[in-house]
Structure 1
Amino acid sequence: MNDPHSGPTNLAMDSANVAVQAEAIHGPVSVYQVESAPSPQQTFNVGLNALHGGMAPEAREHIRDAVVLGRYINGRSCFYLLLALLSGRTLQQVPPGEIAMLRCMHGAIKDDDEWADAIKLVDHLLTSRPTEDGAADLEQELQKLTNEQRNDVLQHMEMFLDSSAEDALWTRAFEAARSDRYAENREGRAWKFFQPEPIGARVQPADPVLIGLGTWTGATVTTALALATVGFIGLTAWQHTGMAAASALLALAAGCYASVRSGAEWRCRKERRQAKDREYGRPPATTARGDGFASKIDHQFNHYSARYTPPGADKARWLSETAGVRRALRDEVVTIYREKTVNAKQVAWLTRYLVADVARRWQAGKLRDYRKELRAPLPIRLMCVLAALAAAAAGAFLIWSGAHISPLIVSLSALAAVASVWFAARAWVRIAAEYERHFADKAEKQGLLADRQAAFSRWKRKLADRPDDLEMARWLECDRKAVMEQATALYRLKRQDVLAHAFIEAPATPSYDRARVEKGPWRYSKYKILLFLLTKDGVRQLTVHLDFQKATFRSRARTNYRYDAFTSVQVAETDSGENVFELTLTNGDPIKVKMTDPPTDVTKNEDKGPQGASQVTLGTAGIWNALHILEGVAAEGQEWIAFERQREKVPLAEVSKAVNAIFA
């Protein structure tokens, strides 16, 4: 397995099917953005953030603009311009034009400047290669630096810490990484970076008042007929009983009103209860197919329904008895949030709250409490019945009194009056019940909205300490140091045994979350990290799977191959927009690792520069330095290392001369 003379073995063939579980684009965020008319200092600060975020090309651009064009020259800007030029690449990769930038700062720094020691240490690290003396001097120089300067030197001068004199520096870097990997409550906060900005609380509006023209017409006609016939009977009865007829007429009117009013509430409650019974009794929904918004909401409800199964409950019973209500809630979420710009992950907080609320009510036996709440109280039902009886009695008295004056006409009018009052009462009960339903639904929706807004506020407070991109970059840098420490321990290598090294960071399969700030690289919840160590005996490759949120390494694979085993190395873009790293060996299958994902619905809708994001991500993943080293080995074999050292002599002398010229 570890025989340096063994043939190549491919252990990285799991990149063909990588699924993005969720993604978020945070913005607007000013970390990597320059204002419309920035000052040189503002431009420098954006470049410094880019450097700390692992985006060396962007850092070089902004810091160069601030220093060279904006003449923002001081010890701090000179130090970080120097680090930006060297970060993540060898001297061979530094163009002569960029080295010339350092000359524009000729005589800008005095020896007593607080950044002078840091700049001199960078020069010492360059010029000490590849001698094995001076470890004590480097340690003393390092002690003079502040924590900020020391950490930045150890991070961005990593490519130049490759001699025995720097073993102490690597040990220091490993020690710092071990503690900083878990700093700032990483395990409690890192997952929040991958949560998109949530969409605010919404509810489905109450259905409008739905009364057809026929109902209004029928109510109007029958009411007019009822008033005419009852009025005629009342006038005729007045001739016989006088004030008694007037009292009966008033009783009839009051009884009809009270009966209609209480009957409307009775009917409203009954219909709302029946509607909820139908809603809660619906069969389970069929999961939507595809990868659309509805399908993702289905998956959320299924996931949280399983996750929030009440403790000790029978899962099958819980899912069966709540299928209807969960389906109704699922349909509501799909309806009110189904917009082109809404990512399903942005409403996951609501899905989680709704399912948890159903579980709480089901466990407490309150899921069907609406049946008790919507049952018409006994006083309402008694009022409806008694009022109707009173109206009927008053009407009968009027008919009896009127019949004494004109029996035939009053009898015919009574038939018309009874029919018209009956149909008018039914129509007005329906109309009043519909208005009652509308107002009751509005009140219910307002209560639901208030509860959801409270849940939304709780979720926003939970995300308030979301880590920024610079923290994510620092944690990932510590993880890289941890991988390097593991590799040197596994292969029992000293630092001087490693002639060169390269990292590649890619999203890990089978699923992962990803997120980025505007103009920043994609950060992943799970990484696949490949470390290539070039030694005199061949190449040592260590592949680890990193759970970034928990800061744990899930698996580890070791691979060895000779220098002459390399055939080719490349990063190719597929038709779908993926970027795939491919290392071809003389024997065995190619090593393929997917570096970036193709554009998705979220990136198409929300991302202002998806292609730029892929390039930035490739840069922070270390791919360009890895390509430089591996392409050199593929072309020149083991001799590449010696040739590289020879080729570096000229740029090394130029950089050292330019650095020394900085001091007045």
Structure 2
Amino acid sequence: MTMTDFTNTASGDARVGYQAGIVVNVNGSYKVPPGATPEEIFRIGVEFLKARMPLEARKLIAKAIALGHATEEVHFYRLLAQLSGKNLRELNSDDMEGLKTICAELPTPHGNDDWTVGLRSVASMLTYFSGADEPALLDKELAGLPPLQRELIVDHLGELLDGSVQDRMWLRSVERAGQLQLANDRENRVWIFFEPEPRRPRRRYAGRPRFRFADLLLAIISGGAFLYAVGSIGWLLAQGGKATLLLAYAAAVAGTAVSLWSGSAWHFRAQRVRAKDAELVPSRRRRRDAPAGGFARKVDQIFDDCFGRYVPRDTDRSYWLKQTRGLRERLRDEVVDMYRDQPVKADEIAWLIRHLVADVKQRWQKDTLTAYRQRWRTPARIQATCLAGLLALAGGCFHIVPAIVSESPIAGTGWVALALIAAVICAPALFAILGEYRRIPADQTEYDEQYRTRSLAYQRWADKLAPRPSDREMADWLECDRKLLVDKALRQYRLRASQVIAHAFIEAPQRGTKRARVQHGPLRYSKYQMLLFLLTDDGVRQVNFLHDFENADSFPIVRLNYRFDAVAAVRVHGSPTSRQHFELTLVNGAPITALISETIDENIRPDEDVTALSEATLDASGLPRTLNVLEGVAAEGKEWIRYQQRRIEHRLEVLGDILGPFRSTRR
């Protein structure tokens, strides 16, 4: 075994910071609706095939044919699904039986429409292997195909070819992959696939006034006592009949009403400023950590992350976090309270948290975090009105109290004392009640403004997510990446495509990756660890890549060379519905391991099956094909090449027998 400045390790088990898997709603779902027509079933099967999931495609296309939908287009795609991504060395007895069954059901292709011509060309490729055609003739026929059919054949059946035809076809395939790798604005769209569908902002309502029952009781009792005492004082003054005292009494009553009303407004504004100030101060009571893995804990993590990243310019991070701790707590509690009663994922409202934190940052930079103080500062007219009322009350009392006490010492003194005590008790309770009735419209105005700005932020984010790629586009981009990685490895080892007996991938999610899927579709990852195996006459060439799918960038981290007989064992352990690991054991080396699938236990829809989802993910990764090749190598060792050559010769004979009827229909 030749080592090339790398170590014999390919551990893909370690994972850090996984984003919870999300399900996105995009066109091209793989759901077969109830009562689907045979043609609809066929179209969904084609979507599976184009998304590199041939196993499920075969089932659905065969089902459509069994239900009576059997056109040349259907048979064309059925052949592609049966042979997609395979070469002659990988066709096993089941594949040959399936091919035999398909060919037995094929109609005689006499027409000249695009699908019939494509169907004949697939048969031409197969008869080429059985010795019926020359490479030049096959090359010419492929070049004369309609563009769609030619691209499909080259894309799915290119590996069936060998020799110079395979080399030319591979160069075309790589050139096309290079052209399509960044097609459809991949660089600016692929990240959107991993973003969850955002939840709309929720409108907040101020609700009803909230005050203590004790305040209401005190206000009623003490207020009633105050009014009764004031009325009694007025009756005593009326009996005296002095106009000056009656005028003073009227001034005192008016001053009392004015000072109470304007004073309550003054008190409310002062209280509101104090409440807003308190929101900036961290809570003194010890906050308990939210349960791990719960909605509140994830909201905490997003808030911490956003406040850690959205630091205002020219501001120390630690100072920023310290000064905004109280506001961070208040915003976190608001978000949790708004959404915790709904089945909402924290990632679905991450846009809202980012908006809130960005708003705090903007206000910090503009020095408007305490702008509420200016807004709720008591106007001079209210202060003047309140003071004028108090002066009128004081002036009236200055004339009334001595007069009434002198004229009626017992009764007058009692009513004055009762009025004073009742006023002292009633005023705070009345201010609290009136303050609540003032708070409701003030809060509602603030909430409506928040809802307006949050709705605009939501719409901006939704518009940004509008060009979300389909799963089909994700599969096409990933397939282009695979082809270019294989080409890079071929160039590194100075090999031609025809010199490679077979190549296979193991695709493992890389640590710190994001993941997402469409309904009924496979998991897609933002970062992969790809293990590429090139099987040649000299043994196995393995190259491990770290592949950043979002940025279409990759670099090799390990290169290994070993003989076929150095492979001691290949196995996959773990349940298909949980975490599965691939392990390749070398005779004289440490095991090469990789995490190839994980538990799909989040966001499972009622009509989805976990086993089917796991199988779709593994099918899309090409794992069944890879295991078929590597298990054969592990079982047969250095004899694998010789055995493969015998199997190929036998399969060519079988192909010749199967395709005999089609040779007479060739143009």
Q: Same fold (TM over 0.5)?
A: yes
Match of 1:328 among 322, 327, 330: 330
The one-letter code sitting in structure 2 at the alignment partner of 1:566 is: V
The one-letter code sitting in structure 1 at the alignment partner of 2:149 is: Q
The one-letter code sitting in structure 1 at the alignment partner of 2:655 is: L
The root-mean-square deviation of aligned C-alpha atoms, in Å, is 3.0
Match of 2:362 among 348, 360, 363: 360
Q: Is the 8 A contact 2:159 2:166 kept in 1?
A: no
Alpha carbons of structure 1 residues 121 and 61: separation in structure 2 relative to 1, 3 Å:
same
* Alignment correspondent of 1:513: 514
> 1:446-473: CA deviations, max 9, x gaps?
2212211111111111100100100000
* Alignment correspondent of 2:615: 615
- The Cα shift of 1:159 comes to 3.4
Distance across 1 between alignment mates of 2:310 and 2:648: 60
- The Cα shift of 1:569 comes to 1.1
Q: Is the 8 A contact 2:542 2:561 kept in 1?
A: yes
> 1:9-66: CA deviations, max 9, x gaps?
6331242446523421124865211221112221111111111111111111111122
* Alignment correspondent of 2:126: 126
Range with greater deviation from structure 2 (525-534 or 243-252): 243-252
SS in structure 1 at match of 2:236: helix
> 1:496-554: CA deviations, max 9, x gaps?
2111221222211x210000001110000001122211111111112111111110114
* Alignment correspondent of 2:538: 537
SS in structure 2 at match of 1:558: strand
Alpha carbons of structure 1 residues 283 and 662: separation in structure 2 relative to 1, 3 Å:
farther
> 1:79-115: CA deviations, max 9, x gaps?
1111011124443164465335424644353241212
Q: Is the 8 A contact 2:4 2:560 kept in 1?
A: no
Distance across 2 between alignment mates of 1:380 and 1:488: 84
Alpha carbons of structure 1 residues 368 and 657: separation in structure 2 relative to 1, 3 Å:
farther
Superposed, which structure 2 residues align to 1:101-116 within 5 Å? 101-103=101-103, 105-107=105-107, 109-116=109-116
Q: Is the 8 A contact 1:23 1:515 kept in 2?
A: yes
- The Cα shift of 1:360 comes to 0.8
Superposed, which structure 2 residues align to 1:399-478 within 5 Å? 399=401, 402=404, 405-478=407-480
The one-letter code sitting in structure 2 at the alignment partner of 1:119 is: L
SS in structure 1 at match of 2:333: helix
Q: Is the 8 A contact 1:23 1:195 kept in 2?
A: no
Q: Is the 8 A contact 1:129 1:163 kept in 2?
A: no
SS in structure 2 at match of 1:637: helix
Range with greater deviation from structure 2 (41-50 or 404-413): 404-413
* Alignment correspondent of 2:52: 54
- The Cα shift of 1:5 comes to 10
- The Cα shift of 1:398 comes to 4.3
* Alignment correspondent of 2:637: 637
Which structure 1 residue ranges, 5 or more long, are not aligned? none
Q: Is the 8 A contact 1:279 1:325 kept in 2?
A: yes
Distance across 2 between alignment mates of 1:310 and 1:524: 32
- The Cα shift of 1:558 comes to 1.5
SS in structure 1 at match of 2:530: strand
SS in structure 2 at match of 1:185: helix
Distance across 1 between alignment mates of 2:648 and 2:577: 40
> 1:571-601: CA deviations, max 9, x gaps?
211699201111111111111111111245x
Distance across 1 between alignment mates of 2:142 and 2:62: 26
Alpha carbons of structure 1 residues 606 and 490: separation in structure 2 relative to 1, 3 Å:
farther
- The Cα shift of 1:6 comes to 10
* Alignment correspondent of 2:77: 80
Alpha carbons of structure 1 residues 646 and 180: separation in structure 2 relative to 1, 3 Å:
same
Alpha carbons of structure 1 residues 335 and 98: separation in structure 2 relative to 1, 3 Å:
same
- The Cα shift of 1:411 comes to 2.5
The one-letter code sitting in structure 2 at the alignment partner of 1:81 is: R
SS in structure 2 at match of 1:511: coil
Alpha carbons of structure 1 residues 151 and 576: separation in structure 2 relative to 1, 3 Å:
closer
Q: Is the 8 A contact 2:211 2:433 kept in 1?
A: yes
Distance across 1 between alignment mates of 2:214 and 2:524: 62
Superposed, which structure 2 residues align to 1:291-302 within 5 Å? 291-302=293-304
SS in structure 1 at match of 2:589: coil
SS in structure 2 at match of 1:128: helix
SS in structure 1 at match of 2:184: coil
Distance across 1 between alignment mates of 2:313 and 2:6: 51
* Alignment correspondent of 1:200: 200
* Alignment correspondent of 2:491: 489
Q: Is the 8 A contact 2:198 2:348 kept in 1?
A: yes
Distance across 2 between alignment mates of 1:259 and 1:7: 87
Range with greater deviation from structure 2 (74-83 or 396-405): 396-405
Superposed, which structure 2 residues align to 1:218-229 within 5 Å? 218-229=218-229
Range with greater deviation from structure 2 (275-284 or 518-527): 275-284
Q: Is the 8 A contact 1:505 1:595 kept in 2?
A: yes
The one-letter code sitting in structure 1 at the alignment partner of 2:33 is: E
Distance across 2 between alignment mates of 1:446 and 1:661: 77
Superposed, which structure 2 residues align to 1:31-180 within 5 Å? 31-66=29-64, 68-89=65-86, 90-92=90-92, 94-95=94-95, 98-103=98-103, 105-107=105-107, 109-129=109-129, 134-180=134-180
The one-letter code sitting in structure 1 at the alignment partner of 2:113 is: D
* Alignment correspondent of 2:211: 211
* Alignment correspondent of 1:570: 571
Q: Is the 8 A contact 1:187 1:549 kept in 2?
A: yes
The one-letter code sitting in structure 1 at the alignment partner of 2:334 is: E
Range with greater deviation from structure 2 (348-357 or 258-267): 258-267
> 1:337-384: CA deviations, max 9, x gaps?
335732221111111111111111111111122222222222222222
Q: Is the 8 A contact 1:5 1:562 kept in 2?
A: no
Match of 2:659 among 633, 656, 659: 656
The one-letter code sitting in structure 2 at the alignment partner of 1:79 is: F
- The Cα shift of 1:405 comes to 5.0
Distance across 2 between alignment mates of 1:24 and 1:580: 22
Is it true that 1:389 corresponds to 2:387 in the alignment?
A: no
Percent identity, aligned pairs only, is 36
SS in structure 1 at match of 2:331: helix
In the comparison of the two structures, how many residue pairs are matched?
Answer: 659
> Normalising to structure 2: TM-score of the pair?
0.91
SS in structure 2 at match of 1:532: strand
SS in structure 1 at match of 2:21: strand
Distance across 1 between alignment mates of 2:523 and 2:150: 27
- The Cα shift of 1:603 comes to 3.8
- The Cα shift of 1:431 comes to 0.9
Alpha carbons of structure 1 residues 323 and 544: separation in structure 2 relative to 1, 3 Å:
same
Q: Is the 8 A contact 1:91 1:652 kept in 2?
A: no
* Alignment correspondent of 1:380: 382
Alpha carbons of structure 1 residues 555 and 394: separation in structure 2 relative to 1, 3 Å:
farther
SS in structure 1 at match of 2:183: coil
Alpha carbons of structure 1 residues 608 and 251: separation in structure 2 relative to 1, 3 Å:
farther
* Alignment correspondent of 1:20: 18
Distance across 2 between alignment mates of 1:74 and 1:427: 84
The one-letter code sitting in structure 1 at the alignment partner of 2:226 is: A
Alpha carbons of structure 1 residues 534 and 493: separation in structure 2 relative to 1, 3 Å:
same
> Normalising to structure 1: TM-score of the pair?
0.92
Q: Is the 8 A contact 1:105 1:662 kept in 2?
A: no
The one-letter code sitting in structure 1 at the alignment partner of 2:80 is: L
- The Cα shift of 1:262 comes to 1.8
Distance across 2 between alignment mates of 1:11 and 1:126: 40
> 1:151-178: CA deviations, max 9, x gaps?
2212211431333222111111000100
Distance across 2 between alignment mates of 1:271 and 1:578: 57
Range with greater deviation from structure 2 (306-315 or 246-255): 246-255
The one-letter code sitting in structure 2 at the alignment partner of 1:190 is: V
* Alignment correspondent of 1:303: 305
Q: Is the 8 A contact 1:99 1:654 kept in 2?
A: no
Range with greater deviation from structure 2 (244-253 or 4-13): 4-13
Alpha carbons of structure 1 residues 111 and 576: separation in structure 2 relative to 1, 3 Å:
closer
Range with greater deviation from structure 2 (102-111 or 317-326): 102-111
SS in structure 1 at match of 2:129: coil
Alpha carbons of structure 1 residues 472 and 161: separation in structure 2 relative to 1, 3 Å:
same
Q: Is the 8 A contact 1:139 1:168 kept in 2?
A: no
- The Cα shift of 1:302 comes to 2.6
Range with greater deviation from structure 2 (538-547 or 459-468): 538-547
The one-letter code sitting in structure 1 at the alignment partner of 2:426 is: A
Range with greater deviation from structure 2 (480-489 or 494-503): 494-503
